[in-house]
Structure 1
Amino acid sequence: MAMRLPERLFRKFLPRGLFARSLLIILLPVLLLEAVVLQVFYGSHLSIVSRRFAFSIASEIAFTLDQLDRGPDPARQWRIMNEVQEQFQLTMAFDPGAKLENRKMVNIFGPMDDDLSAALAQHLGKPFTADWVSNPDFVIVSVQLQNGVVHVDIPRKRLWAGSLFMFAAWVFGTSVLLVVVASLFLRIQVRGIRRLARAAESFGMGRDRGPIRPEGAREVRRAAIAFNRMQERIMRFLAQRTDMLAGVSHDLRTPLTRMRLTLAMLPKTPELQPDIADMTTDVEEMERMISGYLAFARGEGEEKTQITNLSAMLEEVVARACRAGSRVTLHGTPDLVLLLRPDAIRRAITNLVDNARRHAPHVAVGIAYLSASMVEVTVDDDGPGIPQERLETVFRPFESGEASGGHGLGLTIARDIVRAHGGEIILSRSPLGGLRAGVRLPV
């Protein structure tokens, strides 16, 4: 259990997409390496150079102040400060009788300010302040003497280690360049996988868009070629199965037709009339079963998808059921248009409506958006319903029982059609008291 917690946290923060994960795998080690190099550079080379700069300037200021304290002659002091400016590029100004202001020193990016303060405290032994923000070209150091305050303007270039910013710019620039190059490269590689996924999804929903063009890495191309071959084999298998069952259906209907003609020609005597009626019913039932078998095997697979007004289709199905003498009502979203195989979906919903009105006096058909990407068609009845433990078994082919559609193919065909569209049929208890069949279709 203790080992699963870090794994769950890792999965929680790990990107979901292949593109983001691949980019993370490439960039994370590089960024960590650059961070380590930057830290090593900042912690060793930059600190050493900064301390040396600060030590040199602090020594020069301390030496100059020591010379100024040796004699109060203004001319001599002026000459010393003038030489310091020429030799050390330090501009000094003396403010007689002034007192040093208690000013809070502001830190800047880098170790320069801390190193200068440490060096001045070590060499001067006097109160001082360092102003890094007032002048962008100079650092102003003010030192308290016995008879006044000396202000020293230090050029920033004497303290500034410009290589830090060059190094930081180089690290940032290479990282941005790496991100751009890696993103372009990975996008090309992932594009083939995304196209393969869309093709597989479309093929699973019955939208045959033909073979896809292999692209990307060798493994992705091989997967695309394998998908094209699989798609071709499945289509060929479906066509062969449909042709075979169509032939079997034709062969079986021929003797059934002869049997129907023979029964029609038999004399309608009182003794034979009951037997003729029973045999005629059996022949009609066998013809319906053969039609159901063929429809189940074919799965409406030869039909092409097209833009379909699902609401108008439901109105036709409800009107047909009402003309057959059933009480069926319709409610829901009008003019709802989807990309469907209309004949197949009409057959599936008709099977559900016929199954409901065969066992209930009132049937209600509804249509509404289940979510932004899913539509649900509900078929409710006020019949006896189906026990909870049989809600899944009634979908099995040739399942016996009235709720499964007589010979066990009505709900099986309906689910097969809906799943071919990328949807699902959910059976549950209806608000009317009977059974609810919910047909969920992707938008």
Structure 2
Amino acid sequence: MATSQYSSLETAPAPLELRPRRGINLFWRTFFFLALLLFGSMVAWLQTFRTLETEPRAVQSAQQLATVVNLARTALRYSDSIARVSLIKMLAEEEKFRITPREPTDTFKPFISDEFGERIAQEITARLGEDTVVAGSVNGQPGLWIGFVIEGDAYWILADASRLGPSRTSTWAIWLVAAAALSLTGAAVIARLINQPLKQLSFAAGRMRDGDFDASRLDEQVSTSEVREVNIGFNRMAAQLAKIEQERAVMLAGISHDLRTPLARLRLETELSVTDLDAREHMAADIAQLDAIIGKFMDYARPQPAHLEPVSLNDIVNAAVYAVADYADMKVTVDIPADTHVLADKVDLSRIVSNLLENARRYGKSPQTGVALVSIAAKARERWVLIKVRDYGQGVAPPILAKLTNPFFRGDAARTEATGAGLGLAIVEKTVLRMGGTFSLSNTTSGGLAAHIKLRRS
């Protein structure tokens, strides 16, 4: 019995308004689109810059290489053998140009690694002549090789690849990473500025939904005009709703209070004037029912917030069960771990348990026995305590289930011994929400209606 109760406590469905469909967080969605926009713009600008820079830089690099080759060719042509060796050694050590004879058996690959390299090769060939060879590797050795001829003798000159410009280094990657980091930081700041007012509005709306109109006030001095107008409109709406709620509560309390005076006179008149004992009892019962309905009105109209303190759930439930222990048409079983404490208002929690027991006694009787079998179970789960009060009656039709907590609503024929005002479950839900918990109703698989209460653990 206890196992099934605990299982259903964990798997009980929450009401629709307490389980909104989860979507993408507004902050991350805004951040993602801003980052994507900034990164795409940055890549586009980088590509545009590289495209516009390729042509002049290729021409300049080709001019420098052609000048070096022409100087080396002229120097080699007019120097003797001894000076030629010294010149070749000096070029290799100081200018990073190595000159070697070009053999007919040499194998090479064209220097066309990308668009920039192809443009350089074309420009060098145009400046040095059609017999010039620009290679990317010779005999398997990579580099920028330029083949030229001096009076019938062929040579290779190996140039320093760093002379082609900074695009061959990691400079572009470093700047790209730095720009991306700055862009992401800026996107995060902008997304936060956009998301913060909406987050505050969502929090204020949640507080107003729970009846805390004072804590739902928004800042009306923000610098953004659109946000300021929204905050001012929301505050005016919250103030108007608070005024309406206060007037409603005063009206209900006033009507309920004024009705009790003639009811007291009617009760006294009934006791003194009605001689028929049976008629007197029925009239007294009707007056008592009217008085109970008025009490429900006053409970529902109470506007003040609950005073939360650590409360022993065992003591509250045991006291409520003791009050109905003498009812012949009701049997209650309790399965609550010892020393279970919740953060609640002691009086309000007692009223909640009593209302649920009375509701089960009126509408949850078994069709076979005519007795209301009620079970109360609780289980601590992380920072919460899950409480379940269920009966074994006929349950409620699913379309009507969500309406049972509406004020003045009555269920269908399965639970139609309706003698109250239709405020019992509405008061329970309102009181639980006022204590920072949640309340929901569901039909059980084995029959009957179950009330699920979730309160903060003390």
- TM-score normalised by length of structure 2: 0.70
CA deviation after TM superposition for structure 1 residue 265, in Å: 2.7
- Determine the structure 2 residue equivalent to 1:202: 207
* 1:6-405 to 2 correspondences below 5 Å: 16-23=24-31, 28-54=36-62, 56-57=64-65, 60-61=68-69, 64=72, 74-75=81-82, 77-78=84-85, 81=88, 89-94=95-100, 124-125=132-133, 129=137, 141=145, 152-154=158-160, 156=162, 158-161=163-166, 176-177=181-182, 179-181=184-186, 183-184=188-189, 186-207=191-212, 209-210=214-215, 211-214=217-220, 215-266=222-273, 272-296=276-300, 298=301, 300-304=302-306, 306-309=308-311, 312-313=312-313, 315-325=315-325, 326-331=331-336, 335=340, 337-338=342-343, 343-358=347-362, 359=365, 360-368=371-379, 376-388=386-398, 390-396=400-406, 397-399=408-410, 402=415
CA contact (8 A) 2:355 2:425 kept: yes
Using the TM superposition, name which of 341-350 and 98-107 deviates more: 98-107
CA deviation after TM superposition for structure 1 residue 259, in Å: 1.5
CA deviation after TM superposition for structure 1 residue 386, in Å: 3.1
Closer, same or farther: CA 186–386 of 1 in aligned 2, 3 Å: closer
| Structure 1 residues 122-167: Cα deviation after superposition (integer angstroms, max 9, x where no partner) | 7634876279x99xxxx674879999985635262x2114799777
CA deviation after TM superposition for structure 1 residue 85, in Å: 6.9
Cα separation, 2, equivalents of 1:387 and 1:171: 63
CA deviation after TM superposition for structure 1 residue 329, in Å: 1.1
CA deviation after TM superposition for structure 1 residue 429, in Å: 2.3
Closer, same or farther: CA 393–236 of 1 in aligned 2, 3 Å: closer
- Matching residue's letter, 1:193: L
CA contact (8 A) 2:332 2:376 kept: no
- Matching residue's letter, 2:438: G
Closer, same or farther: CA 216–72 of 1 in aligned 2, 3 Å: closer
The alignment covers a number of residue pairs equal to 410
Cα separation, 2, equivalents of 1:96 and 1:35: 43
CA contact (8 A) 2:92 2:99 kept: no
Cα separation, 1, equivalents of 2:248 and 2:395: 35
- Determine the structure 2 residue equivalent to 1:406: 419
Cα separation, 1, equivalents of 2:200 and 2:38: 30
CA-based RMSD of the aligned residues comes to 4.8
Cα separation, 1, equivalents of 2:342 and 2:117: 70
Aligned to 1:379, the other structure's residue is in SS state strand
Closer, same or farther: CA 342–42 of 1 in aligned 2, 3 Å: farther
CA contact (8 A) 1:355 1:410 kept: yes
- Determine the structure 2 residue equivalent to 1:423: 438
- Matching residue's letter, 2:51: G
- Matching residue's letter, 1:354: E
Using the TM superposition, name which of 274-283 and 356-365 deviates more: 356-365
CA deviation after TM superposition for structure 1 residue 284, in Å: 0.6
Cα separation, 2, equivalents of 1:342 and 1:321: 15
- Matching residue's letter, 2:245: L
Closer, same or farther: CA 191–391 of 1 in aligned 2, 3 Å: closer
Aligned to 1:222, the other structure's residue is in SS state helix
Closer, same or farther: CA 291–170 of 1 in aligned 2, 3 Å: same
- Matching residue's letter, 2:304: E
Cα separation, 2, equivalents of 1:314 and 1:179: 54
Aligned to 2:453, the other structure's residue is in SS state strand
CA deviation after TM superposition for structure 1 residue 279, in Å: 0.9
- Matching residue's letter, 1:289: I
Cα separation, 2, equivalents of 1:207 and 1:130: 83
| Structure 1 residues 210-247: Cα deviation after superposition (integer angstroms, max 9, x where no partner) | 33433352222222223333222222222222222222
Closer, same or farther: CA 403–36 of 1 in aligned 2, 3 Å: same
Cα separation, 2, equivalents of 1:390 and 1:71: 109
CA contact (8 A) 1:112 1:160 kept: no
Give the gaps of 5 or more residues in structure 1. 1-14
Cα separation, 1, equivalents of 2:337 and 2:227: 44
Cα separation, 1, equivalents of 2:256 and 2:123: 102
Aligned to 1:378, the other structure's residue is in SS state strand
CA deviation after TM superposition for structure 1 residue 256, in Å: 1.0
Relative contact order (C-alpha < 8 Å, sep 6+): which is higher?
Answer: 2
CA deviation after TM superposition for structure 1 residue 27, in Å: 5.0
- Determine the structure 2 residue equivalent to 1:435: 449
Aligned to 2:396, the other structure's residue is in SS state coil
Cα separation, 2, equivalents of 1:26 and 1:387: 49
CA contact (8 A) 2:439 2:454 kept: yes
Cα separation, 1, equivalents of 2:314 and 2:226: 46
Closer, same or farther: CA 305–94 of 1 in aligned 2, 3 Å: farther
| Structure 1 residues 96-132: Cα deviation after superposition (integer angstroms, max 9, x where no partner) | 999868899997xx8665655677787634876279x
Closer, same or farther: CA 244–97 of 1 in aligned 2, 3 Å: closer
Aligned to 1:75, the other structure's residue is in SS state helix
| Structure 1 residues 330-376: Cα deviation after superposition (integer angstroms, max 9, x where no partner) | 336964645x5554454334322322244354322233478x79764
CA deviation after TM superposition for structure 1 residue 185, in Å: 5.1
Closer, same or farther: CA 389–27 of 1 in aligned 2, 3 Å: closer
- Matching residue's letter, 1:235: A
Aligned to 1:328, the other structure's residue is in SS state strand
